[in-house]
Amino acid sequence: MTNDAPVFAPALSPQEGAEAATDLFREVFEAEPDGVWYAPGRVNIIGEHTDYNGGLALPIALPHRAHLALRRRDNRVVRLVSPQTREKVDVMDLDTIGPKGSPGEVEHWASYIAGVAWSLERDGFEDLPGFDAALVSCVPLGGGLSSSAALECSAAVAIDEVAHLGLAGPPEEPDDAGRARLVTNCVRTENEMAGAPTGGMDQSASLRCREGHALELDCRDGSVTHVPFDLAAEGLALLVIDTKAKHSLDDGQYGA
C-alpha cells in the first residue's frame, strides 16, 4: 500500500506554454526571445525496446510539451534556465565541447539542449550561434513519457529556425525528410552527450507525429506511416498511469 496521492500533470496549451516560457525568459535575461518553440512527449502503444533493435513501434504524441523560449546570440555562448533552476543560469561555450562528445561533458539537462547544437555541427552545419533559452515543460520528468526527447526536439526546431538551417519546415507544412535529419541529431545527442542508448522512437514521435494519428515507425530505415488514431472522435480516452517506478535513461540500465 502507498499513501502517495496520484499525480495528474495537466498539459499547457501552446499559448500557455509560450507565455510561461516568455515570462521566465524576460525575468532572467531581461530581454525578449526571438520566439518560442515546442515539442511533445509521447506514449508508445506497442513496440517497446524495438527501436534500437530495428523493429516496429507505434507511438503517439502527447498534448504535454516542452516549451523553449530562445534568443540567438552573436557569439558562441549558451545560457539556459528553467523554473527549477531560475536561481542558477547554466552557462557554457559551444567551442569548449569536444568534437567527439562524451557523457558528462555538458552537465545535467543542459546536455540535451547544447548537445543538439553540438550534433548539428557534426552534421555539417558549422559555426552555429550561441543562444539564451528558457525552458518550461509540462512533460512529467522520469515518467517514461520522453521528457528528454521533448527537450531535445524543442531545441532542434528552435536552432533550426534561428540559424536558418531549413530542415523542420513550418508547423502547418512540416518537412518530414528534414525532420528525420533532426531526429538523427537528437538521437546522437541522447546517445553521445547524455549517455542513453536510445534508438530514435521517442524523437521520431516528437518531431514527426501528426494530430489524430499514431506513427507507425520502421526503425530499420526510419520510414513512417501515419495511422488514424483519433480516440476522442470515438468517445474513448487513453489512460497513462503513474506507477511510481523511477525511470531514467542515462543510468546504464536502458537497453541492458
Q: List the catalytic residues.
A: 202
**Rounded CA separation 206/178 (Å):** 14
**Rounded CA separation 243/222 (Å):** 31
Angle at 29 between CA 18 and CA 40, to 5 degrees: 30
Q: Which three cell numbers stand for residue 62?
A: 502527447
- Residues 81/135, Cβ–Cβ less than 8 Å: yes
Residue 98's contacts (CB-CB under 8 Å, 6 or more residues apart) are: 105
**Rounded CA separation 158/97 (Å):** 20
